[in-house]
Amino acid sequence: MDGADLIALWISFRLAATTTLLLLLLCTPLAWWLAMGNSRWRVVVDAVVSLPLVLPPTVLGFYLLVLLGPFGGLGRVLHWLGMPAPAFTFSGLVIGSMLYSLPFAVQPLRDAFLAVGARALEVAATLRASSWNRFFTVALPLSARGVLSAVVLSFAHTLGEFGVVLMIGGNIPGRTQTASIALFNHAEALEYGAAYHLSAILLAVCFLLLLAVYTANRRLRATGMLA
């Protein structure tokens, strides 16, 4: 396996890690609102969040390309602000991946928060915990498994991403060529030795990752149910 493949792997992992981290920051409040809020709009937001699950990745990638390219709506706004258009850059990949893996972060978090239930938070309130305190010392520990699911699923899903990344990234080696694209290139060029090699590494890493995470999951005793 050559240096280009190693770089592609590195880009893939960086992409998955960055996307997961940003999704976690963004989706935790969103999932909280979906689980605990009262608004009628929640159903709408739920549906929108789930869209990436059913949209073909190439469709998503195409629309993102149009939107984020230098001629697209967002691209032009950013250009006007003096920033480069995100398409064909690593940032563009992150934006695309965040949209693509959005439901994999939001849904486990939302379900975990729902399982925590209002009672646990009421108890905490009667024990003098303010709203932020309730979130960090009660809701979060009780939804630890959901958080873990969200992290693992987003990471793995982004790692395996292809269509979106290809469209919006442009398959530029060293910049936007991820391991899955490199793999595809090898297969297209009938370089099966390199393809097997690369996919074996991806598979092994993903498997070890999941193994580590689910082992840790076993140790997290708490579920959402109060005793």
The DSSP code for 215 is H
Can you read off the two tokens belonging to residue 227? 């005793």
Establish if 225 lies at the interface with other proteins (CB under 8 A): yes
Q: Which parts of 124-143 interact with other proteins (CB under 8 A)? A: 124-131, 133-134, 137-138, 141-142
Distance CA 67, CA 60 (A): 11
As measured in angstroms, the least distance from the Cβ of 208 to other proteins is: 28
Distance CA 64, CA 180 (A): 19
The amino acid at residue 61 is G
Establish if 86 lies at the interface with other proteins (CB under 8 A): no
Cα separation values, 152 from 60, 82, 89, 168, Å: 22, 36, 25, 24
Residues sharing a CB contact under 8 Å with residue 226, sequence separation 6 or more, in sequence order: 117, 119, 120, 123
User: Which residue from 170, 196, 206, 210 is in contact with other proteins, where contact means CB under 8 A?
Assistant: 170
User: Which residue from 51, 119, 193, 212 is in contact with other proteins, where contact means CB under 8 A?
Assistant: 119
Can you read off the two tokens belonging to residue 94? 């992150």
User: Which residue from 52, 69, 86, 108 is in contact with other proteins, where contact means CB under 8 A?
Assistant: 69
Establish if 72 lies at the interface with other proteins (CB under 8 A): yes
Q: With contacts defined by CB under 8 A, name the span among 7-15, 25-33, 93-101, 188-196 that binds other proteins.
A: 188-196
Rounded to the nearest 5 degrees, what angle is found at the Cα of 91, between the Cα atoms of 197 and 88? 75
User: Which residue from 29, 37, 70, 73 is in contact with other proteins, where contact means CB under 8 A?
Assistant: 70
Q: With contacts defined by CB under 8 A, name the span among 104-112, 121-129, 146-154, 198-206 that binds other proteins.
A: 121-129
Establish if 193 lies at the interface with other proteins (CB under 8 A): no
Establish if 56 lies at the interface with other proteins (CB under 8 A): no
- Choose between 65 and 156: whose C-beta lies nearer to other proteins: 65
Closest by CA to 181, choosing from 169, 171, 168, is 171
The amino acid at residue 162 is F
As measured in angstroms, the least distance from the Cβ of 144 to other proteins is: 8
| Residue appearing with tokens 């972060």 | 105
- Choose between 25 and 131: whose C-beta lies nearer to other proteins: 131
* Residues 177, 73 contacting (CB under 8 angstroms): no
Residues of this chain that interact with other proteins (CB under 8 A) are: 62, 65-66, 69-72, 75, 85, 87-88, 119-120, 122-131, 133-134, 137-138, 141-142, 166-167, 170-174, 177, 185, 187-191, 221-223, 225-227
